[in-house]
Amino acid sequence: MGNQLVWDERYNIGVEVIDKEHKKLFSILNKLFDFGRQEEKSQWVCQEAVKYFRDHAIQHFADEESYMISIGYEGLETHQRIHRNFRDRTIPALERELELTNYSEDSVNHFLSVCAGWLIGHTMIEDHAIVSGETVKQWENMMPEEEQAVMGQTIANLLHSMFQLDPRLISNYYGGEKFGDGIYYRLIYSTKEKKRWEFYLIFEQQLIVSTIGSVINTKSEALSVMLMNAARYVARQLVERVKGYFPSSDKFQIKEEQLLTYEQFQKVFEKQSPQFSLLFDTGKGYFAYCVAATDMLQPEGGVSIITENAMTEVGKYLNQNNVEKIEISHKKKVLVVDDSEFMLRAIHDLLSSDYEVITAKSGLSAIRSITLDRPDLVLLDYEMPVCNGSQVLEMIRSEKDFADIPVIFLTSKVDKESVSKVIALKPEGYLSKSMSPETVKREVDHYFEKKDRVKR
């Protein structure tokens, strides 16, 4: 393992007790990184180092929460929830992996990469929010960790019993990021009083082909109408099995079943505040399971499926997906990160004819998007709240697998001092938000043309 965590002043949030502990956690991980490079490793030394990191992290969480209580921080409950998830779920799962593999090099590297990534992301986003006073609104309605854990295990057990998969829960906070070629399935339940539940099941296409496809013995590596209809009924059965977990579930009847494109899914899902939003790696593809309860009637969109039109509409949906996939396969992938929905939509509309455009509204969502679906270029808002563009760039550069992804800043400030700060971070360039749409498009085109010339 050749990596090191380099402390940067950007990690400081300005609270001495928290900053001091962050530096200590970085130092402990670096000692583990050093250990990973040694040819002769002592399993006992590694066990003690992992235990030391865990105990120190737990004490740090307690100290940080005490500080938040002392200042009356409104985001305390959400912060505690994130701490508990890492303390009670992530670290124990990593420790089990280490024990089962006798502290193999791969499992040690996995432990280090997960802990390093979590520590950087948490420091730069949630911890900086403590001093800015911001709170993360998207997760306000999330169920308590205990209930999320039960739901996660329930879904994992169902996937195992149906397909003999051993799914790994990656995140309790799936934010709608794109992964691979996806199928976006939405089930809407309602009561006579107009209460609504919306279930979202997102399958990576290869997951459907390798599981349901093997059951019905299809030889094709692509989705067919038959395979897609089989997947729909499997998805409905899964939802019905889980629906009983909710109170008064017998009062909810299915109102509508839809297949969405990714863009339609994004538009609907970004307005939700889900109760559960779970992302799994099944070993054969990603799978996400999300539930939102709402009194609001969201814009429907998508292909509405009823028994009489199922074969025809599913066929149209798959044809549309195939056409889009062929078109996208020749396009460069651009991730646009901005906290303004207006800017995201404007840049998406500007670039989507020539590029595959993915959007993210926060630094954390950007990192998840990069992890799940690596872009060719990132257009990054420099002035985002909570976690600004320079902090997101720092996170990208700190990850070996992402370090070479090109980033161009979007900025509304073009005075000499502001531009100097942007340039000092060494992005591929910067674009002013005051530029005309034609100029922004021309600059993005020019970047890719220049890169293609260099390759030749």
Digitized pLDDT (tens) for each residue of the chain, 456 residues in all: 344 556 667 677 888 888 888 888 888 877 776 665 554 556 666 777 788 888 888 888 999 999 999 999 888 887 887 788 788 877 887 788 788 888 877 677 767 766 776 776 677 667 877 877 665 566 778 888 788 888 999 999 988 888 888 898 888 888 888 877 888 999 988 888 778 889 999 999 889 888 877 765 555 556 777 778 778 888 888 888 888 777 777 788 888 888 888 888 888 888 888 999 999 988 888 899 999 987 655 555 666 776 556 667 777 777 777 666 655 567 899 999 988 877 888 898 899 889 989 888 887 788 888 888 889 999 988 877 666 777 788 778 777 778 888 999 888 776 667 667 667 777 888 888 888 888 889 999 999 988 877 665
Could you list the beta-strand ranges (E) of 91-229.
168-171, 182-190, 196-204
The pLDDT of residue 218 is: 55
Q: What's the rounded Cα separation, in Å, for the pair 131 and 219? A: 56
Q: Does domain 331-455 have CATH number 3.10.110.10?
A: no
Q: What's the rounded Cα separation, in Å, for the pair 350 and 357? A: 10
CA 387 to chain centre: 16
Torsion of CA 332, 371, 149, 54, to 10 degrees: -170
Q: Is residue 452 classed exposed, middle or buried when 0-12, 13-18 and 19+ CB atoms within 10 A define those classes? A: exposed
What residue has token string 């099944």?
Answer: 282
Q: What's the rounded Cα separation, in Å, for the pair 319 and 327? A: 12
Q: Measuring CA to CA, how many Å separate 255 from each of 140, 247, 307?
A: 26, 18, 13
C-alpha distance across the termini of the chain, in Å: 33
The pLDDT of residue 377 is: 94
Q: Which of 404, 405, 403, 423 is nearest to 413 (CA)?
A: 423
Q: Does domain 146-323 have CATH number 3.40.1550.10?
A: yes
Under 8 Å CB-to-CB from 280, ≥6 apart: which residues? 155, 156, 159, 167, 168, 169, 170, 286, 287, 288, 289
Q: What's the rounded Cα separation, in Å, for the pair 432 and 409? A: 8
> Do 207 and 287 meet the contact criterion of CB atoms below 8 Å apart?
yes
The encoded tokens of residue 8 equal 């940067």
The pLDDT of residue 269 is: 87
Q: What's the rounded Cα separation, in Å, for the pair 166 and 17? A: 41
The encoded tokens of residue 286 equal 């990603």
The pLDDT of residue 2 is: 40
The pLDDT of residue 1 is: 36
The crossing angle, in degrees rounded to 10, of helices 16-37 and 43-71 is: 160
Under 8 Å CB-to-CB from 210, ≥6 apart: which residues? 284, 285
Q: What's the rounded Cα separation, in Å, for the pair 50 and 236? A: 42
Q: What's the rounded Cα separation, in Å, for the pair 114 and 94? A: 9
Q: In what order do the strands lie in the sheet with 407-411?
A: 355-360, 332-337, 377-381, 407-411, 429-432
Q: What share of the chain is helix, strand, coil (3-state, %, to 5)?
A: 55, 15, 30
Look up residue 139 and give its amino acid: W
Q: What's the rounded Cα separation, in Å, for the pair 27 and 33? A: 10
Q: Indicate the domain borders of the chain.
A: 9-134, 146-323, 331-455
Record the pTM. Answer: 0.58
Q: Does domain 9-134 have CATH number 3.90.1300.10?
A: no
